[in-house]
């Protein structure tokens, strides 16, 4: 079956990509009962929020995300299951819009966002950041209004064996609105005509943020970041990280979240001490996903601080990383 290209649909219909993608979700809901039920369920999903110093963390109770939060991603479990991103195993109702000759945009049937996509590679290759980050930036540029995100193979990807990104409407994650204000309090690592880079130390999680109108500059800076982080985690298949990428007003905003742990101790605790929270890009963007009602009800501000503290780089390591990047860039 030949998929239509997003860019061809834009030319043919004269609609914005945003409108086309929203209509795509609506058309999937009409012919795919599972997607319809889960998107309708999202309208009544419970949310609460915690206020920190100048920023917010939301918590969403979303039982349909259990399969993702609790996904077994060890080698044996992955080898024993059929890959749900490979075309031969996908539900027949799941349509696709092509992006270039390597990626397909799919409606995610287990949404966190009102408009939630999985952007999957059309071949079964491993989840890796650097060989595919250029595609991520290009996809973000074609999907204005949406944030494209990457979960590392040991940082929340439930299919670490099949390359994919996800995307959802940018306005949903608090970081999108907080960033403009918070960057005045961040450490600036680099400033040039078309590019700025900041480090966030005091935001519960550690973030390196890049704002640039140049694709080449974005790739250069991300490459430098990745090389230094990789040198700090030589035993890993790739350094532990999540990333968010948005394109707006002719420039990219990229948030890089270097990590040291996949799941916090609360995930493995028993009884009342357990919190089934498995942080990935959306959690780092400011929305904790809680698939169990009991966890949603009992999670506290202190739990959120503690979870971010466990999975993010320590301040001294982050300081070393960002100083190397600063020196290299300047």
Q: Which two tokens mark 153? A: 């193979």
Rounded to whole angstroms, the Cα distance separating 188 from 210 reads 10
> In this chain, which stretch among 56-64, 68-76, 120-128, 176-184 interacts with Zn ion, using CB under 5 A?
120-128
Site for Zn ion in 223-282 (CB under 5 A): none
Q: Does the footprint of Zn ion cover residue 219 (CB under 5 A)?
A: no
Cβ atoms of residues 188 and 198 within 8 Å:
yes
Q: Is 106 helix (H, G, I), strand (E, B) or coil?
A: strand
Q: Does the footprint of Zn ion cover residue 70 (CB under 5 A)?
A: no
Nearer to Zn ion, 119 or 325 (CB): 119
- Per CB under 5 A, the list member of 29, 65, 116, 162 interacting with Zn ion is 162
Cβ atoms of residues 57 and 288 within 8 Å:
yes
Q: Smallest distance, Å, CB 124 to Zn ion?
A: 4
Nearer to Zn ion, 118 or 312 (CB): 118
Q: Which two tokens mark 93? A: 């109702």
Number of residues that bind Zn ion (CB under 5 A): 5
> In this chain, which stretch among 65-73, 117-125, 144-152, 226-234 interacts with Zn ion, using CB under 5 A?
117-125
Q: What is the largest CA-CA distance in the chain?
A: 56
Nearer to Zn ion, 88 or 101 (CB): 88
Rounded to whole angstroms, the Cα distance separating 188 from 172 reads 26
Kindly state the DSSP code that residue 153 receives in the 8-state scheme: T
Cβ atoms of residues 255 and 218 within 8 Å:
no
Cβ atoms of residues 115 and 145 within 8 Å:
no
Nearer to Zn ion, 85 or 287 (CB): 85
Q: Which two tokens mark 252? A: 């990219």
Q: Does the footprint of Zn ion cover residue 124 (CB under 5 A)?
A: yes
Measured at CB, which residue is nearest to Zn ion? Answer: 83
Nearer to Zn ion, 107 or 313 (CB): 107
Nearer to Zn ion, 7 or 83 (CB): 83
- Per CB under 5 A, the list member of 25, 73, 85, 137 interacting with Zn ion is 85
Nearest to 312 by CA among 155, 175, 150: 155
Sheet harboring 56-61: ordered strands across?
46-51, 56-61, 287-290
- Per CB under 5 A, the list member of 7, 42, 70, 86 interacting with Zn ion is 86
Q: Which residues bind Zn ion (CB under 5 A)?
A: 83, 85-86, 124, 162
């Amino acid at each position: 079956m030949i998929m239509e290209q997003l860019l061809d649909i834009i030319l043919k219909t004269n609609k914005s990509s945003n409108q086309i993608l929203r209509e795509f979700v609506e058309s999937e809901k009409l012919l795919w009962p599972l997607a319809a039920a889960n998107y309708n369920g999202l309208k009544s999903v419970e949310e609460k929020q915690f206020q920190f110093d100048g920023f917010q963390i939301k918590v969403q109770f979303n039982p349909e995300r259990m399969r993702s939060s609790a996904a077994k991603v060890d080698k044996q479990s992955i080898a024993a299951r059929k890959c749900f991103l490979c075309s031969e195993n996908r539900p027949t109702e799941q349509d696709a819009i092509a992006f270039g000759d390597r990626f397909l945009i799919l409606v995610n049937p287990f949404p966190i966002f009102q408009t939630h996509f999985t952007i999957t590679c059309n071949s079964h290759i491993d989840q890796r950041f650097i060989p595919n980050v250029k595609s991520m930036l290009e996809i973000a540029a074609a999907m204005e209004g949406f944030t494209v995100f990457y979960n590392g193979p040991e940082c929340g990807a439930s299919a670490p064996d099949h390359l994919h990104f996800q995307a959802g409407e940018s306005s949903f994650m608090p970081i999108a609105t907080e960033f403009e204000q918070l960057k005045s309090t961040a450490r600036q690592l680099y400033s040039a005509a078309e590019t700025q880079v900041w480090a966030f130390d005091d935001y519960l999680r550690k973030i390196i943020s890049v704002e640039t109108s140049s694709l080449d500059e974005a790739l250069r800076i991300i490459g430098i970041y990745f090389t230094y982080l990789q040198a700090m985690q030589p035993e890993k298949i790739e350094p532990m990280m999540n990333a968010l990428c948005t394109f707006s007003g002719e420039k990219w905003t990229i948030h890089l979240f270097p990590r040291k742990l996949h799941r916090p101790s609360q995930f493995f605790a028993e009884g009342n001490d357990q919190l089934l929270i498995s942080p990935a890009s959306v959690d780092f963007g400011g929305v904790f996903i809680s698939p169990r009602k009991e966890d949603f009800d009992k999670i506290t501000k202190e739990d959120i601080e503690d979870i971010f503290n466990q999975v993010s780089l320590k301040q001294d390591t982050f300081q070393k990383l960002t100083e190397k990047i600063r020196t290299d860039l300047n």
